[in-house]
């Protein structure tokens, strides 16, 4: 970093040439984003102001869809609560779990490569197979977990069949699936300068203190990245609702993306679904902005401010 940033005098000409190449290379991606993301996004906004069902000609109805969503919609409130509840549990759970596992896997243990693979495998398994497998564990009447509980004489737990337990149960699957976070944490851990640890050890810092004052600060950019990715992914959760719960029991797992899917492709209220989509977008944007705004308070950036 240091060697590059000391700029020579001829910087401006060099910079211009470099910029030209950079813009040229950015162009295809930029065009792709414009036409495949932003234009359709405006399209969604446009459709959300109509009553389009896919059949009859859409009529412009102003903000009626949005008004309906916030006044009479029987699902939206439960849906937002369920999604945020799920995202918070899953993000916190998977961050702690994956950092913990990554730190264990970063030690010089026997068969380290094998264990690294073991913890990554869930992430690459086909999602539907995973959820079907977990459904056998969670099943309320004869599922494996309930079999174990009944063997030790405990009452049954209804897991995904109970509106209070369904979100924590699904979050547990999501935590178990966090193999990708482990890999990224592992890469980050290997970049924590060993000299800091050695110096701290000389000063008599114990393991917890070294974790708190060296590992965590050094890892903070990685933690931020994982936090952001995990938050966005978990706020968009839909697979467990599609594969396992159908949004139930009640509305307990009727996540926002599932609600949107249901409106658009089961009930064919496309205008209404687009309005829901925009609300999801606003919620995601709000969470992301808050995360970015607060990030510079706790991220320790060794490379300094990159302007």
- Give the binding site for other proteins (CB under 8 A): 33, 36-38, 40-41, 43-44, 53-56, 68, 72-75, 140-142, 150, 154-156, 158, 160-163, 228, 232, 236, 244-252, 254, 257, 260, 262, 264-268, 270, 274, 277, 280-281, 284-285, 288-289, 291-293, 295-296, 305, 307
Q: How far is CA 90 from CA 102, 105, 234, 263, 274, in A?
A: 17, 21, 7, 25, 26
CA angle 198, 222, 96 (to 5 degrees): 85
**Tokens standing for 219?**
């890892």
By beta-carbon proximity to other proteins, the closer residue of 96 and 290 is 290
The structure tokens 């009452």 sit at 155
Nearer Cβ to other proteins, position 186 or 280? 280
Q: Which is nearer to other proteins, 59 or 198 (CB)?
A: 59
- Would you say 174 or 257 has its CB closer to other proteins? 257
Q: Which is nearer to other proteins, 77 or 213 (CB)?
A: 77
Q: What is the 8-class DSSP label of residue 37? A: I
The structure tokens listed for 144 are 């494996």
If you compute the radius of gyration of the chain from its CA atoms, what whole number of angstroms results? 24
CA distances in angstroms from 34 to 13, 29, 45, 129, 277, listed in the order given: 30, 9, 15, 36, 19
Least Å distance between CB 190 and other proteins?
A: 26
For other proteins, the closer CB: 84 or 205: 84
Nearest-approach distance from CB 268 to other proteins, in angstroms: 6
CB of 266 to other proteins, least distance (A): 6
- Shortest distance (Å) from residue 278 CB to other proteins: 9
What are the Cα distances from residue 220, in Å, to 2, 43, 193, 207, 295? Answer: 21, 38, 14, 18, 9
CB of 129 to other proteins, least distance (A): 16
Q: How far is the CB of 237 from other proteins (least distance, A)?
A: 12
> What are the beta bridge partners of residue 60?
50
Cβ distance to other proteins smaller for residue 13 or 155: 155
Q: Alpha-carbon distance 276 to 48, whole Å?
A: 8
CA distance 83 to 254: 8
Tell me how far, at minimum, the Cβ of 32 lies from other proteins, in Å. Answer: 10
Which residue in the block uniquely carries the two structure tokens 């949005």?
A: 66
């Amino acid at each position: 970093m240091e060697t590059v940033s000391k700029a020579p005098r001829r910087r401006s000409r060099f910079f211009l040439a470099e910029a030209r190449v950079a813009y040229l290379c950015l162009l295809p991606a930029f065009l792709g984003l414009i036409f495949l993301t932003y234009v359709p996004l405006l399209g969604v906004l446009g459709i959300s102001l109509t009553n389009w069902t896919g059949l009859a000609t859409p009529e412009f109805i102003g903000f009626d869809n949005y008004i309906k969503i916030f006044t009479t919609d029987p699902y939206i409130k439960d849906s937002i609560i369920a999604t945020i509840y799920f995202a918070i549990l899953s993000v916190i759970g998977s961050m702690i779990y994956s950092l913990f596992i990554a730190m264990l896997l970063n030690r010089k243990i026997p068969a380290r490569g094998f264990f690294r693979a073991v913890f990554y495998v869930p992430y690459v398994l086909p999602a539907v197979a995973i959820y079907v497998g977990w459904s056998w564990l969670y099943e309320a009447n004869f599922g494996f977990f309930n079999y174990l509980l009944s063997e030790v004489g405990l009452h049954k737990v209804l897991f995904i069949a109970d509106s209070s337990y369904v979100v924590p149960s699904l979050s547990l699957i999501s935590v178990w699936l966090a193999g990708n976070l482990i890999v990224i944490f592992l890469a980050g851990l290997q970049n924590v300068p060993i000299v800091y640890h050695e110096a701290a050890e000389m000063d008599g810092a114990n393991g917890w203190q070294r974790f708190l004052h060296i590992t965590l600060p050094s890892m903070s950019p990685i933690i931020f990245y994982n936090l952001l990715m995990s938050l966005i992914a978990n706020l968009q959760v839909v697979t467990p609702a599609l594969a396992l719960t159908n949004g139930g029991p009640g509305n307990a797992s009727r996540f926002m993306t599932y609600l949107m899917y249901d409106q658009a492709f089961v009930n064919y209220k496309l205008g209404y679904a687009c309005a829901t989509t925009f609300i999801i977008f606003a919620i995601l944007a709000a969470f992301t902005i808050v995360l970015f705004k607060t990030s510079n308070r706790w991220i320790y950036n060794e490379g300094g401010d990159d302007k």
